Amino acid sequence: MFSVQTRIGLKKGNPEAYKEVFLFLHPRLKGYCRLFFSDDNLVADIIQETFLALWEKRNLIKTEKSIESLIFVMVRNRCLNELRKQRLESE
């Protein structure tokens, strides 16, 4: 769990807070995303897109809530969207 200072820093656009969150969560997100996909490039893209979206929408972060939970939900949703996309393409 990240400190309030880190969550506030992320919301304010502090690159060090962003880096701290990324470095801590990246390995776990990679493992989680691999539950959905075996393609390492796709996994890397999903994680990269998630952190880009987090940065772009950082002003909407609720500092009293868990950043970790938010990011895992974002990754899960991106994985599910990708699965839907792949299913539609194969039909």
Which pLDDT score is estimated for 67? 94
**pLDDT tens column, 74-90:** 999 999 999 999 999 99
DSSP category for residue 69: H
- Rounded to 5, what percent of the chain is helix, strand, coil? 80, 0, 20
Question: Average pLDDT in the 25-35 region?
Answer: 98
Q: What's the rounded Cα separation, in Å, for the pair 54 and 69?
A: 12
Predicted model pTM: 0.92
